[in-house]
Structure 1
Amino acid sequence: MSLPKINRLPSARLLSSFLLHQQLPSISPLAVPRRGVIQGDYRRPGKPKEDKFPWQKINFNLSKGLEGIKKNFALLKKEFTDRWVGPEGKPIIEHMLEQNRVIWEFKGPESLEQWTVSSDREIGGQSDVCLKFGKYKNTCFLYGTLNSTPPRDGETRYSGYCTMRSQQPRASFDRKKHYDWSSFNTLHLRVRGDGRPWMISIATDTYFSHQKDDIYCYFLYTRGGPYWQDVRIPFSKFFLTHRGRIQDDQHPIWLDKVNTIGFTLGDKADGPFQLEIDFIGVCKDHAHTEEFAYEVYKKNPEV
């Protein structure tokens, strides 16, 4: 017995004949908003829009440009001469036997220019922070008022922080430099605070661009009172964070690629604060033999 004719049709012809008798809804083309096509700079609610072209923000000053060229060629000359002396311009024997090194001290107006202060006012908060010299012009005095009231912009839930961070060191022609602390194992500070806990953060160079927000952190507990305190924190105690979140995959600091160091206050205790810093340095503590204080996970464990 022969099969019906419709069953002998190819599957493609059956599908096309079926679709011809169906009432398919009309589909309009997708409307992509302009923000999805061209992503502009993020602007917080309430902040006025800046209608300026990029070249309008450049200061075309001939005298300033000549000063910059002179400065960069002087830095380039210093780089060549330092290479003949030794690492970082020091003799090789002095570099090998060095036990202590002062990285930042405050003995001139240019020393404060190496630091940048910021607070939650950048996101609409109400905290204030200032930086100036101490009473005898040989210390750094950081003070202000902390306010944890979040801004009323409909999206910010938490606020209340003040920070002080060193600037990225630069070589000639605005090339990035790094601090090499691989010969040391301890961070050494001499501070005088008001009893508040601070967060010390160290930023290093990274291999990938998505790791630019990776920062190593540890706590600085100040005693308060009129007396100075010498604080020594081993680098093995610093833990890895990304945008304020502690990471599961921990690893030690790359001490040969240190970019900046910072001090952040965010203890949610509203009111005035102050922190005075005499110097910030690094040292070699032979009694400390710990390599890393936290558990390190193996991504490919041995079988």
Structure 2
Amino acid sequence: MALVPKLLSDTYVLRKCLRPGAALRPFLALRVADYCSSSLQKPVTPPGKASQQRSTQQGLQGHSQKEVALDVTFPEDKPEFNFDKAIKDEVKNHLRLLKDEIVSHWIGPEGRPMHEVLLEQAKVVWQFRGKEDLDKWIVTSDKTIGGRSEIFLKMGKNNQSALLYGTLSSEAPQDGESKESGYCAMISRIPRGAFERKKSYDWSQFNTLYLRVRGDGRPWMVNIREDTDFIQRKNQMYSYFMFTRGGPYWQEVKIPFSKFFFSNQGRIRDAQHQLLLDKISTIGFTLADKVDGPFFLEIDFIGVFSDPAHKEEFAYENSPELNPRLFK
């Protein structure tokens, strides 16, 4: 009786791992019969372990009915995956997304009239109210190059914010090449349309980035990338600093887009270019202040704002020697 659970579980494993065809069933039937006959042979028990084996058998007999009752589902009872149906459902989903994009283009975003959208002064682009909002972001650190920094992203209290936390370490990787390390970053995913087409954000009617955050006093670098398919421009971005004040209170941060400076491969360029607000691809936050230890940043929402008091178009000067294309 004690061998019934073992026999059933072993038979279940064989049926789960091997699903034979018609040509292999006679051969496998013989193998299963040999396996079962060998399993049913009574093993030789040393005299000193006879009492221990009897107690184990009694315990197994008490639980045999429960174990047998659980083993009632076999792989043959599960529905098979239909590849053609999955392809059709995926195509229907993308066609529905394409229809929504066309309707939004002619009627207006989210079904609103276009004149209302053009007159709005503030817009929330990202907010954090559930796991689906966290899935729009990715986190990374110097662990990708052998560093020791760690970063995590989870929902905040009462699912009303996103909590970015971890530990920053400036210890350089032991690879014989890297001399500096110590960064953590949070980057938004590139928006995708129907049939996985890349999309971009159009913020041309706004002039300020608007955030509501709560930090620990550390400075963060806010990075914005333009939508481009040129390989030589993949390392280009526009950046500016966001200073958190620490403490238990939230702070509203407004950064004019005219303040964002141009950099390439992490170096600020002498020739500055203005950010194209109708081709925004991603936004990110980077911590690299060379202060080892724990950190956190809580974010309520990220949006854009049109500040009527801000008249500056571009905060940085250019000369014909640095950027001759601007003076032709």
TM-score, with structure 1 as normaliser:
0.77
1:139 matched to 2:161: yes
1:288 Cα offset (Å): 0.3
| One-letter amino acid of the structure 2 residue matched with residue 163 of structure 1 | A
Which of 309, 318, 322 lines up with 1:296 in the alignment?
318
Aligned to 1:33: none
Aligned to 1:80: 102
Aligned to 1:233: 255
Tell me: CA distance 1:184–1:270, structure 2 relative to 1, closer, same or farther (3 Å).
same
Which of 167, 174, 177 lines up with 1:152 in the alignment?
174
Q: What are the residue-to-residue correspondences of 1:159-198 with 2, within 5 Å?
A: 159-198=181-220
- Say how many residue pairs are matched: 244
CA distance in 2, matches of 1:240, 1:67: 43
Runs of 4+ in 1 over 6 A off after TM superposition: none
CA distance in 2, matches of 1:124, 1:143: 19
1:110 Cα offset (Å): 0.8
| One-letter amino acid of the structure 1 residue matched with residue 180 of structure 2 | Y
| One-letter amino acid of the structure 2 residue matched with residue 212 of structure 1 | K
1:206 Cα offset (Å): 3.4
Alignment gaps of 5+ in structure 2:
1-80
Query: Deviations 1:1-33 (Å, cap 9, x if unpaired)?
Result: xxxxxxxxxxxxxxxxxxxxxxxxxxxxxxxxx
Tell me: CA distance 1:207–1:165, structure 2 relative to 1, closer, same or farther (3 Å).
closer
**Aligned partners of 1:83 and 1:89 also within 8 Å:** no
Tell me: CA distance 1:69–1:252, structure 2 relative to 1, closer, same or farther (3 Å).
same
Query: Deviations 1:138-185 (Å, cap 9, x if unpaired)?
Result: 100000000110111111111110000000001100101000000000
Tell me: CA distance 1:102–1:301, structure 2 relative to 1, closer, same or farther (3 Å).
closer
Greater displacement, 75-84 / 157-166? 75-84
| One-letter amino acid of the structure 1 residue matched with residue 296 of structure 2 | Q
| One-letter amino acid of the structure 2 residue matched with residue 138 of structure 1 | Q
Q: What are the residue-to-residue correspondences of 1:1-303 with 2, within 5 Å?
A: 62=83, 65-86=87-108, 89-206=111-228, 208-298=230-320, 299=324
Query: Deviations 1:184-203 (Å, cap 9, x if unpaired)?
Result: 00000000000000000000
CA distance in 2, matches of 1:160, 1:130: 15
Structure holding more helix per residue: 2
CA distance in 2, matches of 1:262, 1:204: 12
CA distance in 2, matches of 1:200, 1:64: 40
CA distance in 1, matches of 2:186, 2:229: 25
1:89 Cα offset (Å): 4.5
1:70 Cα offset (Å): 3.2
| One-letter amino acid of the structure 2 residue matched with residue 160 of structure 1 | G
Alignment gaps of 5+ in structure 1:
1-59
| One-letter amino acid of the structure 1 residue matched with residue 172 of structure 2 | P
Query: Deviations 1:270-300 (Å, cap 9, x if unpaired)?
Result: 0000000000000100000000000123305
Mark the structure with the bigger radius of gyration.
Answer: 2
The residue matched to 1:83 in structure 2 has which SS? helix
Query: Deviations 1:86-145 (Å, cap 9, x if unpaired)?
Result: 357431210221100000001121100000000011101111100000011110000000
1:301 Cα offset (Å): 8.0
Tell me: CA distance 1:227–1:95, structure 2 relative to 1, closer, same or farther (3 Å).
same
Tell me: CA distance 1:225–1:122, structure 2 relative to 1, closer, same or farther (3 Å).
same
| One-letter amino acid of the structure 1 residue matched with residue 107 of structure 2 | V
| One-letter amino acid of the structure 2 residue matched with residue 142 of structure 1 | L
Tell me: CA distance 1:183–1:150, structure 2 relative to 1, closer, same or farther (3 Å).
same
CA distance in 2, matches of 1:129, 1:265: 10
The residue matched to 1:122 in structure 2 has which SS? helix
